[in-house]
Amino acid sequence: MAAMRRRDFLRLSLAASAATAVSPSLLAAPVTVRLTLFPDRRIAPVPADFTGLSYETAQLGDPDFFSPENRALVGLVRRLGAQGVLRIGGNTSENSHWKADGEAVSVSGSPVGPDTGKNTPSLTAITPRAIDNLRGFLEATGWNLMYGLNMATGTPESAAEEASYVWKTCGKRALAFQIGNEADLFHQNGMRKPSYGQADFFVEWRRFFEEIRRKVPEAAFAGPDTANATAWLLPFAQEFHSELKLLTEHYYAEGPPTNPAMTLDRLLHPNPKLESELAATVEARKATGVPFRLAETNSCYSGGKEGVSNTFGAALWTAELMFQVAASGGVGINFHGGGYGWYTPIAGTREKGFSAQPGYYGMLLFQQALGQAGAAELIDARLEGNDPQVTVYALRDGDGQRLVLFNKSSAPVTVDLNLGREQKAGVRVLRLTGPSLESTDGITLGGAPVSRNGEWEPATQESLPPSGKNGRGKRALLALPAGSAALVML
């Protein structure tokens, strides 16, 4: 029964959950839709380390970037959660090489953004100093590490040497190694012969795995870390499940950025590709018992798209994607970024400082919804109607229940909250807002922006009083403007 509810919840949230469709003629008069909460219908737990960031391996070429001395970055990361997962990987992992006796030079003025796959790859030397500082960064943030190893241009022996140093240095902060990045694209990017496929990857992955495990017997692994070969996921899980800590895959909602069809409006509508990919992860997880984490994701591949990936609309998309992955039973998500990439959650350099970008605010909304403990359980909640751009997610922990509502449409709605008979007082509301869906700045959560070192406190927190009854107990009416989200704390 629980499995059926999770499937129903996921299907509704991805395809047709939400409120009554709003006619353009009614923009001045918000449609009222009723919300019903089912606190006894459990969907999935959300672990404390669900939130994650992903950076290119080439960023380690600046050994002082991931360092406890990079205090502004430490503050911004910690604001997203007392626990989390930092993933090092991306395209540049396949041109990065371990240099045990290397002396890296600090290059703070050279930001490493998401690799677009269009430039001639440059080699990056990964040195002990970079890993030593990375350990300090992890300790300062409280986050753990998922680390990508070079399969495409590396060797099992070199990967094992690198893994040994990373595992020994990072200790309890080392969560898992990933071997290879998007190997399903090797046949088309020149990394392998055109006929390279799933069977070839499995053979090669095992060869690397065995050499690393020989050198580091206690090492943990995640994979297959494919770009879009969802069909590889279940066979990989079945082949290597006894060696895996996590199943991992990538997802980009749109792309390439040069395609005029890849618009903000398209991003904000349900994506059949996501529904299909999450269904495949559920199948693989159920067949093998290995948890799934979305190891690399964002709005548009090849570095993102200006006017889409860097907008307030993308902040709403980011937050909802986190709930969609959690509703499918996924244990975490890592948003790719770095440098000044269009979709990066945190932009900047050590030299010029950092700033929270739109996607960061979506991640912060999700983290606030988890409550004081930083972990919670998704429960069932339904909005009447069929507008896929107005959705709700509900959570519960020892401190109470919380709702997160999204209105990604161009029309306001009023939500009739069914508070139940146990609600003794009003509810508190924290809003995620921006001047418009297309805005690239002026975004706030609780009326306040995030500072350049991660400081944030809500400036405005509404109190929503009960306004009568609606058959099942007390009720309250929540105004949900077009292009906004609200966290309702019961």
* Contact call for residues 476 and 464 (beta carbons, < 8 A): yes
Least confident interval from 109-113, 232-236, 278-282: 109-113
161-206 per-position pLDDT tens digit: 999 999 999 999 999 999 999 999 999 999 999 999 999 999 999 9
Topology classification of domain 2-45+376-426+465-489: Immunoglobulin-like (2.60.40)
Tokens at residue 138, please?
A: 């992890």
- 18-46: average pLDDT: 69
- CB of 253 closer than 8 Å to CB of 268: no
Q: How confident is the model at residue 123 (pLDDT cuts 50, 70, 90)?
A: confident
Whole-number pLDDT of residue 121: 65
Structural contact between residues 19 and 415, judged by C-beta atoms closer than 8 angstroms: yes
- How confident is residue 71, by pLDDT bands cut at 50, 70 and 90? very high
Quick: pLDDT tens for 433-442. Answer: 999 999 999 9
pLDDT of residue 210: 98
Q: With a cut of 80, say whether residue 467 has pLDDT above it.
A: no
Split at pLDDT 50, 70, 90, the class of 242 is very high
Nearest to 54 by CA among 146, 171, 167: 146
Find the mean pLDDT for residues 15-42: 61
Cβ(143)–Cβ(173) under 8 Å? yes
Q: Average of pLDDT values for 384-413?
A: 92
Pick from 16-20, 216-220, 381-385: least confident: 16-20
Provide the pLDDT confidence category of residue 473 given band limits of 50, 70 and 90: low
Mean pLDDT score of the chain, rounded to an integer?
A: 91
State both tokens at 311: 């907008």
As assigned by CATH, the class of the 49-369 domain is alpha beta
Confidence grade of residue 26 (pLDDT, cut at 50, 70, 90): very low
382 strand-pairing partners: 36
Highest mean pLDDT (candidates 9-23, 293-307, 462-476): 293-307
Residue 395 in this model has a pLDDT that exceeds 70: yes
pLDDT band at 470 (very low <50, low <70, confident <90, very high): low
pLDDT value of position 419: 74
Domain spans of the chain, in order of start: 2-45+376-426+465-489, 49-369
> Among residues of the chain, what percentage have pLDDT more than 70?
89
Residue 22 has pLDDT above 80, yes or no: no
Mean pLDDT of 473-486: 91
Mean pLDDT throughout 238-260?
97
